[in-house]
Amino acid sequence: MSTLERVSTAEQAPVEATRVNSWNGWDPLRHVIVGRATGTVVQAPEPAVRRDFPEDGFPLGTWGPMPEEMTAEANEQLDSFARLLSSRGIRVDRPTPLDFTQRVSTPDWEQESMFGCMPPRDVLLTVGNEILEATMSYRSRWFEYLAYRPVLQSLFESDPDMRWEAAPKPRLTDESYVPGFWDTYNTLGLGEQLDKVAANDLVLTEKEPLFDAADVARFGKDLFVQLSLVTNRQGYEWLRRHFPEHRVHAITFTNTHPLHIDATWVPLRPGLVLHNGERLATPELVKYFEVNDWEVVEAVQPASWKHQMRLSFCTPWLSVNLLNLDPNTLCVEAEEVRLADQLVGLGFDVVPVPFRAVAPFGGGLHCATVDIERDGVLEDYFP
Ligand code: ARG
């Protein structure tokens, strides 16, 4: 850009200044992305994914748009959540949906459908002034970053310090997946499945680095990366090298279907982590928190989800998928009254948010958002 052009851009000052900055999950929230349900698809079969909802019109092997009334209801809850955040002075950006029913391809593969632009937390990882586009590991989600490009482009234009990064786009050839994984895995007993989870011997091979952003929990200088059905050891290794100023830990839990860390091990404020007691942490992880004077609190059981799990691939543990507005204030799904009581007992102000209709679109209040700006700086909470 020439000096002249620069001057004229500055004079017009068309874009409101923004600042990308977020180091953890609890500092006061200033700016956030909230996903949209629009156009979400029960995605076509692919090596990593099996959607099997015979009772809800999508038996194994079939695919297509989510029912219209479910999409509308989810969008209402997402929109009113976005309004609630705005009313508290938090700036909100939204993704731009594409036609997710379209067939996509790379030179290596073709996939009959995409997925959607919920949940954004899976796709984008904010660390300090950097927003990193994850590799993703489903073919149906390979192009999902496109829904966020308008937001990322405008952040890039308005924040001169923003670092915009993308992890290496994966090939996702058949060699990235264990052949026949689901057929075998589903016949194993609990113990055998958990052994495989602990060894991260799941559907992904180690052919290339793969990770979803939502497998990363941010605690300032410490980043905890869950090895899962969508994050492999090479994905962890890539993240470790990409963030040389951080301590990056690879962790697992006793969860037979590990998929995103934010319904399992949830930072609430410095010194306090909420834990889903049905998914045990390793003794090493518990010790690491204990020797650093962190309290690990087991969450109460989720409320009943009745029929709201239709077409959902999430569990009722979306209850603990919380969004901090600041270190003392938590957005909690409105029906999770017992959890809200537990959190009040721990000293939090609770903001109830109706959000159950969003679950079939991939998540709760944390999944449905991505931090763009929180106050605060990089700190070491495990000195
Ligand atoms: N796999 C989690 C559960 O159902 C849900 C986590 C969803 N998180 C997300 N970022 N999409 O327990």
Mean pLDDT by 10 residues, the chain (383 residues): 44 72 98 98 94 89 95 98 98 98 97 97 98 98 98 97 98 97 95 97 98 98 98 98 98 97 97 96 97 97 79 92 98 97 98 96 96 98 97
Q: What is the pLDDT of residue 55?
A: 87
Asked whether residue 146 is domain-assigned, the answer is yes
pTM score: 0.94
Q: What is the pLDDT of residue 310?
A: 87
Q: What is the pLDDT of residue 4?
A: 45
Query: Atom 7 of ligand 1 has which residue's CA nearest to it?
Result: 363
- ipTM score here? 0.94
Give yes or no: 117 in active site. Answer: no
Extract the tokens encoding 24: 């953890």
Counting atoms of ligand 1 from 1, which one is nearest the CA of 314?
4
Q: Is the dihedral of CA 157, 158, 160, 163 positive or negative?
A: negative
Give yes or no: 367 in active site. Answer: yes
Q: Give, in order, the Cα–Cα distances in Å from 254 to each of 195, 230, 260.
A: 9, 16, 13
* Structural domain total, the chain: 1
Asked whether residue 6 is domain-assigned, the answer is no
259 Cβ closer than 6 Å to some ligand 1 atom = yes
Q: Which residues contact 367 (CB under 8 A, 6 or more apart)?
A: 35, 118, 119, 120, 121, 122, 214, 260, 262, 318, 321
Asked whether residue 287 is domain-assigned, the answer is yes
DSSP character at residue 304: P
Asked whether residue 10 is domain-assigned, the answer is no
Q: Which residue has the tokens 């090298």?
A: 241
336 Cβ closer than 6 Å to some ligand 1 atom = no
- CATH number of the domain at 179, please: 3.75.10.10
Asked whether residue 356 is domain-assigned, the answer is yes
Q: Which residue has the tokens 């192009």?
A: 143
Q: What does the alpha-carbon distance between residue 230 and residue 137 come to, in Å, rounded to a whole number?
A: 6
CB 251 within 8 A of CB 285: yes
Torsion angle of the four alpha carbons 284, 240, 166, 103, in this order, in degrees rounded to the nearest 10 = -50
Asked whether residue 185 is domain-assigned, the answer is yes
Q: Which residue has the tokens 């990409």?
A: 242
Counting atoms of ligand 1 from 1, which one is nearest the CA of 367?
10
Selecting among 31, 260, 275, 366, the annotated active-site residue is 260
Q: What does the alpha-carbon distance between residue 232 and residue 238 come to, in Å, rounded to a whole number?
A: 10
User: CB-based burial of residue 137 (10 Å sphere; 0-12 exposed, 13-18 middle, 19+ buried)?
Assistant: buried
121 Cβ closer than 6 Å to some ligand 1 atom = yes
| φ, ψ of residue 335 in degrees (nearest 5) | -85, -5
Tell me how many degrees the CA angle 179-180-186 measures, rounded to the nearest 5.
Answer: 140
Asked whether residue 7 is domain-assigned, the answer is no
Extract the tokens encoding 261: 């860390």
359 Cβ closer than 6 Å to some ligand 1 atom = no
Asked whether residue 314 is domain-assigned, the answer is yes
Alpha helices in the chain (DSSP H): 3-12, 68-87, 149-158, 181-185, 190-198, 233-242, 283-291, 337-345
The radius of gyration computed from the CA coordinates of the chain, to the nearest angstrom, equals 20
Give yes or no: 249 in active site. Answer: no
Counting atoms of ligand 1 from 1, which one is nearest the CA of 119?
11
Q: First-to-last CA distance in the chain? A: 44
Selecting among 27, 93, 159, 212, the annotated active-site residue is 212
Domain containing 250: what range?
15-374
Q: What does the alpha-carbon distance between residue 320 and residue 25 come to, in Å, rounded to a whole number?
A: 13
Q: Which residue has the tokens 């492999």?
A: 232
